[in-house]
Amino acid sequence: MPANTSNIGPVLITGCSSGLGHASACLFREAGYVTVATARDPARLADLKTRGCDTVALDVTDAASRASAVAEVERRHGAVGVLINNAGYGQYGPLEEIPLDEIRLTFETNVFGLIGMSQLVLPGMRKAGRGRIVNISSVAGRVSTPGGGVYHMSKYCVEAAADALRPEVAPFGIDVVNVLPGPFVSAYRGKLLHSMPDTGQGSPYLVFKRNLGVWMQDFLEPGAFGVLTSAEVAQVVFKAGTARRPRSRYYAGFTARWGPVGRALAPDRLVDFFMRRQIPPK
């Protein structure tokens, strides 16, 4: 059963310029919640503003931007009631070829940005005696595949952080909830290929990268088995943010729910063999 919109406090959502963040902001606002949508470029939030969302500029990788955004939300609306850590970055390619700076960028967005935002809203939540942090994690935080090591590492961190933070803040009336989507339709599919490092025709991973691109495009193909829409995942995010007694994790879609089960039951060597067949290295 959803919480009362009058006492939950403002809902602050990161990464709302498109996709899941945009769909989630629409849902919360339509349900009557004070909804603050954020993005690095506020101009991309114009349609959400016309829907009644408040908008604030926010780059989760920048400490000053994080502090400014949370302070502005608290000034306008009081302590954040629900923080939805949605902003994310997907880096793909063989680990040997990805520059460390690119790996750092992924962690700045998916891990440090998420933790930084949580640290900033917690004092207000604690003072109010209520609050909720909803992290958009991923089935990628439970199951790893070749070519996705950097992204998987960052999402495993989100899973570990939630398990540590949840009991730490529970005595203050604050919930920590992870939403783990499986594949869903978003702009991420189009950006994925561009994230892979171009190391030239002499790369020992040249064939692997081509096959990885094909496999990932198929994995995220709209309408394919198990591929959800952003709106369907947003419904799960809304439930995670408003349920009176939320679960610690919500799995969105068939792949998210059953993928980790299959991985836990299968021997490592069998999984490695299967993935080599799916993404041939040569």
The catalytic residue among 65, 137, 154, 186 is: 137
Here the tokens at position 275 are 């993935």
Q: How far is CA 116 from CA 27, 62, 65, 85, 266, in A?
A: 25, 9, 11, 10, 36
- Measured CA to CA, the distance from residue 17 to residue 9 in angstroms comes to 22
The catalytic residue among 151, 156, 188, 251 is: 151
* Terminal Cα distance for the chain, rounded: 52
The catalytic residue among 24, 65, 92, 155 is: 155
17 catalytic? Reply is yes
- Which residues on neighbouring strands pair with residue 85, listed in sequence order? 135
186 catalytic? Reply is no
155 catalytic? Reply is yes
Positive or negative CA dihedral for 89, 93, 96, 97? negative
- Measured CA to CA, the distance from residue 92 to residue 216 in angstroms comes to 10
Here the tokens at position 171 are 């005595």
Q: Which amino acids are annotated catalytic?
A: 17, 137, 151, 155
